[in-house]
Structure 1
Amino acid sequence: MKWSAVVAAFGLSAPAVALLRFGCARLTVQRLDPLVNPGQNPSAHLHQIIGGNSFNVSMDPSKHDLPTLSTCTSCQFSEDFSNYWTAVLFFRARNGTFKRVPQIPQQGMEGTQGGMVVYYMTDALFDTAQKSKVTAFKPGFRMLVGDSSFQNRDQARNYRQLTYTCMENSGTRAPETLEFPKGPCKVGIMANHRFPTCWDGVNLDTPNHRDHVTYPETGTFESGGKCPSTHPVRIPQILLETVWDTRAFNNKADWPADGSQPFVWSSGDKTGYASHADYVFGWKNDSLQKAMDAHTYVSAPTLKTQSIAEQNKCVVSDMVKENIDGWLPKLPGDNMVM
């Protein structure tokens, strides 16, 4: 079934529908990473963060209970105090200056300030039954997908589900590429971050934030691939979609003189292979497990929602205090373009 047909049939433009599909406004954009660089202010590169407002420089899981410490969330489901973050996209002009690329809310979420669309799935996106059993994440669970140091396809091959879509219109969802689009995109570039869906059932985290989770041993989550014996517990598929509004940067006269694509991650990556995303679980009580067990596709009857205006109000203070707006002579953190 094509995406446009799904939108028409199941109302995916509405914010409170589909598997669990919901919008989250921007909580903050800062050079912080409490998962990879706990306690470090500032961290190596800029991130966009969504979710609960207990996000901080350090988030020790033994001391930092997100649902208890958060007083609001920038996500539509008000019981989700999790934090999700990715790197930030910049445009590199021919003169060598940089400008942060803004974001476009998806249909039905107009008015959302920055942010992303988040999915939690028990089965493939277009499987309306959503009947499979998954085990929701536990308090203290964290994971990281991708690697900010990757520079080529071979390195990124294990993260084949980190992709980009060059959007011709608001409904474009294909084709997907592992690298940045080569040419201008009429509407924008969608960055897709699909997290692993198999857990070892023991560790809530590991030193590299990756070893306790993996993708299916064959196929993909979408094709019903089986989890390996080392990671037998099936967990929900988390998908993050971010639409970067590249329309203001489509004039090729402003692109690098060699004609190469002009977008870079805040880490300095110009290939797109360094795409990565972080997740810190923070759903209140057993609300996520109940929602997954409901097997709904166009509603979430067990969850409470809030308005976009309420989501936009949930922010955290600037803890780094550096200029990230306007035309910049260099990337925040002085990251070199590689």
Structure 2
Amino acid sequence: MGRNIRKRRSPLAVRAVAASAALAIGGGGLIWANFYASAHEGNSTQNQTKAATTQVATIKCPDVGQQLSNVPNQARGEVDGELATLDQQITDAYQRLATTRDAQTRDASFVQNSILGPLKDRRAAIIDRIQLEINRVGGSAPNSLDGLATCTGQAADQTQTNTGGQNNNGGATASPSASASATAGNGGQQGGNGGQQAGNGGQAGNGPVAADFVDITKVQPNVAQKARTQAGGSAGTFSSSCGVNANKKFNTDNVIVAPGVTNGAHHLHDYVGNQSNDAFANNDTFAAAQTSCANQGDKSSYYWPVVRIQNGTQDFDQNNDGGGKEGNVGAIKTVKQAQIKFVGNPKSKVVAMPKFLRIITGDAKTTTNGLANANAHWSCTGFENKVQLTTQYPICPQGSSVVRTFKFQSCWDGVNIDSANHRTHVAFADAQGNCANGFKAIPQLTMRLVYNFAAPTIQNGQVKNAYAVDGFPEQLHKPATDHDDFINVFDVNTMNKVVSCINNGQRCR
């Protein structure tokens, strides 16, 4: 296999505090603290105003993991452990931030001197160890790591999800403005709402806010026409029916990003297909597992963050890490439909995926990292061919259901089943279907998840009965953070059938 997966220390459980802590995998995170509701401050308008104007609400740390595109296999386990330590340091800094509000109001330099300065020193020591581990096995650690120790403080109205560029990730598009009330931005939602939504909204105080939603009937069409399949292209499909996680297989691990680390995702995943996916699974585990797929030749693991309705209710994990303790609250919604389909390439034939290939599409940390790797697609039944949203959740009309769509990377480097930053071994084809840099076209995994729940409403600048995707708590449950994970565990014969069906223009199951 491509990685050395072993059991390691688990990050310390995040203690429940007034606001949720964040562990952003890869050592980068944007930590948010609710300064508007404090047991010792009560409901004092004066204190709330003072906190709003003088205190740091977020701590933004560079994402170390995304800079590590070439880590030798011999160092992967140790580096993953160090990245988990960076995450724990960010959590510790958050807890310090959330429990020292009075000191911050009295001393303008408190955050820098008591939180950010010490955090920089601790991060620098871990980054040095990461460099040593890489160099020790003959690798070359990037020089850019030296500049990633410093974290910065930000006020609540500075948190944005629209920083950074966005690539052509399978057709992801930023949401156009539809109405002033729906797209005013976080800053516009923060005034005049009392303590409830003066920070970042949501049932747990970390989103979503009204600006994260838009009436889809008011959005201009934004879906580009698909490229036509050319001579030599591949127009077939292969569908795999794997259920909707009716058996409720959940966990908050992520064996791709954080192997061996319990609660490595810090949010809850739905799983279909392979039934043995957890933090300590390896390729042998996957190969021997049961599958929920009707085609028993497909033991692949398909997993995505759950969607919750924030209507005041709680679910089984309200007191658990990755659940309520980390700001993921509300009733978990089971998918009504989960359609898994592999499609071809308009320009060329496809080659077989290697067994145990790992792909992550989208970015769970767009609030920190910007939209460069965002690949969220939100829409409603009846609108999917016209409107796809990245930075807003749709409010669907009566009789229409919310739809999440994922289009995975469809070009492979021909060698690796994973990469150190989990991105560089695969890539998206361009609009015409071309794979760059000598990459090979592989069957493109597409997924369509349909949900049934009542549409949220926006009243007086606040969203009622909001729905939101689970995520790292510091990411404020923004729609752009949606992402999906896949591990290929097709047996050889079934994968060959997938390739044959696609290349011959057939429709197979």
TM-score exceeds 0.5: yes
**1:27-55, CA deviations, whole angstroms, 9 ceiling, x for partnerless residues?**
61222221122222333110011112232
Aligned mates of 1:259, 1:241 — CA distance in 2: 29
Aligned mates of 1:227, 1:31 — CA distance in 2: 34
**1:132-166, CA deviations, whole angstroms, 9 ceiling, x for partnerless residues?**
421121123111111111139x9224444x31112
Shift of 1:235: 1.1
Aligned mates of 2:394, 2:446 — CA distance in 1: 24
> Where is the helix percentage greater, Structure 1 or Structure 2?
2
The secondary structure found in structure 2 opposite 1:90 is strand
Higher relative contact order (CA 8 A, sep 6+): 1
Please name the residue that 1:103 is paired with.
Answer: 335
Aligned mates of 1:60, 1:103 — CA distance in 2: 27
Q: Is 1:144 paired with 2:360? A: yes
**1:244-263, CA deviations, whole angstroms, 9 ceiling, x for partnerless residues?**
2223xx252xx675244722
Residue 227 of structure 1 aligns to which amino acid in structure 2? C
Residue 123 of structure 1 aligns to which amino acid in structure 2? N
The secondary structure found in structure 2 opposite 1:151 is helix
Give me the CA root mean square deviation.
2.8
The secondary structure found in structure 2 opposite 1:273 is helix
Preserved contact between residue 394 and residue 402 of structure 2 (Cα < 8 Å): no
- The change in CA–CA distance for 1:101 and 1:95 in structure 2 (over 3 A counts) is closer
Preserved contact between residue 200 and residue 212 of structure 1 (Cα < 8 Å): yes
Match of 1:228 among 436, 448, 458: 436
The secondary structure found in structure 1 opposite 2:391 is coil
Unaligned regions of 5+ residues in structure 1, if any?
1-17, 106-115, 125-130, 304-338
The secondary structure found in structure 1 opposite 2:341 is strand
Residue 258 of structure 2 aligns to which amino acid in structure 1? N
Residue 238 of structure 1 aligns to which amino acid in structure 2? L
Please name the residue that 1:92 is paired with.
Answer: 310
- The change in CA–CA distance for 1:145 and 1:299 in structure 2 (over 3 A counts) is closer
The secondary structure found in structure 1 opposite 2:424 is coil
Preserved contact between residue 133 and residue 293 of structure 1 (Cα < 8 Å): no
Preserved contact between residue 136 and residue 289 of structure 1 (Cα < 8 Å): yes
Match of 2:420 among 190, 207, 218: 207
- The change in CA–CA distance for 1:159 and 1:42 in structure 2 (over 3 A counts) is closer
**1:243-289, CA deviations, whole angstroms, 9 ceiling, x for partnerless residues?**
12223xx252xx67524472221114432100111111100123212
Aligned mates of 2:241, 2:297 — CA distance in 1: 13
Please name the residue that 2:391 is paired with.
Answer: 179
Aligned mates of 1:95, 1:283 — CA distance in 2: 39
- The change in CA–CA distance for 1:227 and 1:298 in structure 2 (over 3 A counts) is closer
Q: Is 1:36 paired with 2:239? A: no
TM-score when scaled to structure 1? Answer: 0.66
Please name the residue that 1:60 is paired with.
Answer: 282
Shift of 1:65: 5.3
- The change in CA–CA distance for 1:55 and 1:182 in structure 2 (over 3 A counts) is closer
**Identical positions, percent:** 19
Q: Is 1:79 paired with 2:282? A: no
Preserved contact between residue 167 and residue 173 of structure 1 (Cα < 8 Å): no
Residue 293 of structure 1 aligns to which amino acid in structure 2? S
Please name the residue that 1:258 is paired with.
Answer: 461
The secondary structure found in structure 1 opposite 2:370 is helix
Please name the residue that 1:155 is paired with.
Answer: 370
Preserved contact between residue 166 and residue 181 of structure 1 (Cα < 8 Å): no
Please name the residue that 1:164 is paired with.
Answer: 378
Residue 144 of structure 1 aligns to which amino acid in structure 2? I
The secondary structure found in structure 2 opposite 1:49 is strand
**1:105-155, CA deviations, whole angstroms, 9 ceiling, x for partnerless residues?**
2xxxxxxxxxx211111136xxxxxx9421121123111111111139x92
Shift of 1:194: 0.8
Aligned mates of 2:310, 2:446 — CA distance in 1: 27
Preserved contact between residue 65 and residue 282 of structure 1 (Cα < 8 Å): no
Residue 425 of structure 2 aligns to which amino acid in structure 1? H
Preserved contact between residue 146 and residue 156 of structure 1 (Cα < 8 Å): no
TM-score when scaled to structure 2? Answer: 0.45
- The change in CA–CA distance for 1:75 and 1:177 in structure 2 (over 3 A counts) is same
- The change in CA–CA distance for 1:176 and 1:57 in structure 2 (over 3 A counts) is same
- The change in CA–CA distance for 1:213 and 1:251 in structure 2 (over 3 A counts) is closer
Shift of 1:94: 7.0
The secondary structure found in structure 1 opposite 2:402 is strand
Preserved contact between residue 203 and residue 212 of structure 1 (Cα < 8 Å): yes
Unaligned regions of 5+ residues in structure 2, if any?
1-235, 315-328
Aligned mates of 2:418, 2:370 — CA distance in 1: 23
Preserved contact between residue 94 and residue 256 of structure 1 (Cα < 8 Å): no
**1:66-105, CA deviations, whole angstroms, 9 ceiling, x for partnerless residues?**
23x12x3112322100001111111223799622223212
Aligned mates of 1:174, 1:23 — CA distance in 2: 26
The secondary structure found in structure 1 opposite 2:359 is strand
Residue 226 of structure 1 aligns to which amino acid in structure 2? N
The secondary structure found in structure 2 opposite 1:33 is coil
Aligned mates of 2:280, 2:450 — CA distance in 1: 28
Preserved contact between residue 182 and residue 260 of structure 1 (Cα < 8 Å): no
**1:196-255, CA deviations, whole angstroms, 9 ceiling, x for partnerless residues?**
111111211111211111112x32xxxx321111x52111110111112223xx252xx6
Preserved contact between residue 396 and residue 402 of structure 2 (Cα < 8 Å): no
Preserved contact between residue 93 and residue 256 of structure 1 (Cα < 8 Å): no
Report how many residues are paired. Answer: 250
Preserved contact between residue 20 and residue 297 of structure 1 (Cα < 8 Å): no
Shift of 1:176: 1.1
